[in-house]
Amino acid sequence: MTAEQLISFARGAPSLDIIDVEGLKAAAARAFDADPAGVTAYGTSVGYVPLRKWIAEKHNVSADQVIVTNGSLQADAFLFNHLVQPGDDVVVEKPTYDRTLLSLQNLGAKVHQVTLQSDGIDVDELRTLLESGVRPKLAHIIPNYQNPAGITLSVSKRRALLALAVEFGFTIFEDDPYVDIRFRGDALPSMLSMDSDNAVVHASSFTKTVCPGVRVGYLVGPAALIDAIAKKATNLYISPGMVSEAIVHQFCVSGDIERSVQTVSTALGERAQVLAESLRKHIPGATFTEPDGGYFLWVDLPDDVDVDKLFPAAMKKGVAVVKGSDFLLEGGNHSLRLAYSAVTVDQIDEGVRRIAAAIEEVRA
C-alpha cells in the first residue's frame, strides 16, 4: 500500500467487495422480465407496490402503513417536514447522526440533545427535560448500533421511551438502518413492534444491507400519516425510482438479501475487531466500546488531542476520519467516529498507525 492512498474511516458505506453486484444485475434482469410495465412507469408516490408489500410483511403491518422513498434520508426529511414547524422542540441523542442535526436545525427546530449512555439514551435525563415543560414534537432515536456511537438501546429503555412518548404526547422516530448488521447477541424487538399507541414512526433502508446506490429506504407509521406524506411526495416528485425499487424487490424475494446481510455482517464484524485491536496497539490512550453490530466505532482521545487540529493532520497522512464535534451541538472536540465499512481488513492497521502518527504530531 502506498502512503498516498487515502484510507477512509469516514464513509458509512459498504466497500465494493461486499456488495453483491452480480446478484443485483440478475435481480435487474428478473425485474424487467417480470414486470416491464411496472418497472418503466411513473408508479405512485407510495413506492413500487410489490416492494411496499414485502416491507409491510417484514414489519407485520398493513401495506398502507408503508411509503418507500429514495433512501431513508428522504424518509427522514418527509417526516421532519410533516411534523416539525420552526420553533418546535425536538429531542435527539447526544451524539447523533450529523445529517439529522442539520435537517432539524435547517427546519428551525429547537434541538435538545439528550445524553447517550452505554445502553442508549438517558431516559431519566429525558424525563427531567419533559418535566421542565419542554414538549417535543418528536424524539429521534437510532436504536441499533447507533450512528455515530455504535450503541444499542436496551429493551427496558425501549419500554421506558414508549411510556414517556404516550405520557408526554410526542412521536418516537425510530431510525433503524443498521439493525440487520449484527455481529453478536440477539436481535431486540423494534419499538414499532412494541407500540400499541401509534407513538412510533419507523424508518429503515437498503443502503447498509444492499448498497447505497439503489437509494431505497422507507417509512412505516400510522396509515393516516403515511397517506398525508404520500400526498406531499406526489406533489414533489410523482414517484420515487421504480427501476431501483423493482430491483431491490427481486433481490429481496429471491432471498439474495439474506446472503448480502450475512456477507456484510461477517466482513464488518471482522473489521470492527481488527480496528479495536489496532487502536489498543497504536493508540493506548484511546477509549472506546466495541460495537455488537453496525458500521461505526466512537473513540474518545486524551484531552490534549484537539480533533480540529487532528483532522487536517490525519488527512495529510492519508487517513480520513470524522470529528466527534460534527455529531454534537457542542463538545466532541476530543472524539472521533471511525467507520470500518469502507476499509478492507488489510488497510485498517496502517490507517490506525497514521491516526496515531497524526495524534503525536498535534500533541507536540
Footprint of ligand PLP on this chain (CB under 6 A)?
A: 12, 71-73, 76, 97, 142, 147, 175, 177, 205, 207, 212, 217
Shortest spacing between CB 196 and ligand PLP, in angstroms: 25
Please name the residues in contact with 4: beta carbons below 8 A apart, sequence gap of 6 or more: 318
* Angle (nearest 5°) at CA 74 between 98 and 212: 80
Nearer to ligand PLP, 46 or 356 (CB): 46
Residue 122 grid coordinates = 438517558
Question: In whole angstroms, how close is the CB of 128 to ligand PLP at the nearest point?
Answer: 25
Cα–Cα distance, 337 to 322 (Å, whole number): 5
DSSP 188: P
Judged by beta carbon, residue 113 or residue 205, the one nearer ligand PLP is: 205
Nearer to ligand PLP by Cβ, of 190 and 205: the residue is 205
Nearer to ligand PLP, 248 or 307 (CB): 248
Closest CA to 35 of 49, 52, 54: 49
The helices-and-strands tally (H runs, E runs) of the chain is: 13, 14
In angstroms, rounded to a whole number, what is the distance separating the alpha carbons of residues 258 and 278? 30
Minimum distance from residue 281 beta carbon to ligand PLP (Å): 28
Cβ-based nearer residue to ligand PLP, 147 or 244: 147
Cβ–Cβ under 8 Å, residues 299 and 9: no
The two most distant CA atoms of the chain are separated, in Å, by 65
Instruction: Rank residues 73 and 79 by Cβ distance to ligand PLP and give the closer one.
Output: 73
The CA-to-CA distance between both ends of the chain, in Å, stands at 27
Least separation in angstroms between residue 114's CB and ligand PLP is 16
Residue nearer to ligand PLP on the CB measure, 203 or 358 = 203
Please, what is the Cα angle at 314 between 310 and 320, to 5 degrees? 110
Going by C-alpha positions, the residue among 299, 282, 283, 290 that lies closest to residue 335 is 299
Q: Report phi then psi at 20, rounded to 5.
A: -85, 75
Smallest separation, CB 13 to ligand PLP (Å): 8
CB of 212 to ligand PLP, least distance (A): 5
Minimum separation from the CB atom of position 103 to ligand PLP (A): 10
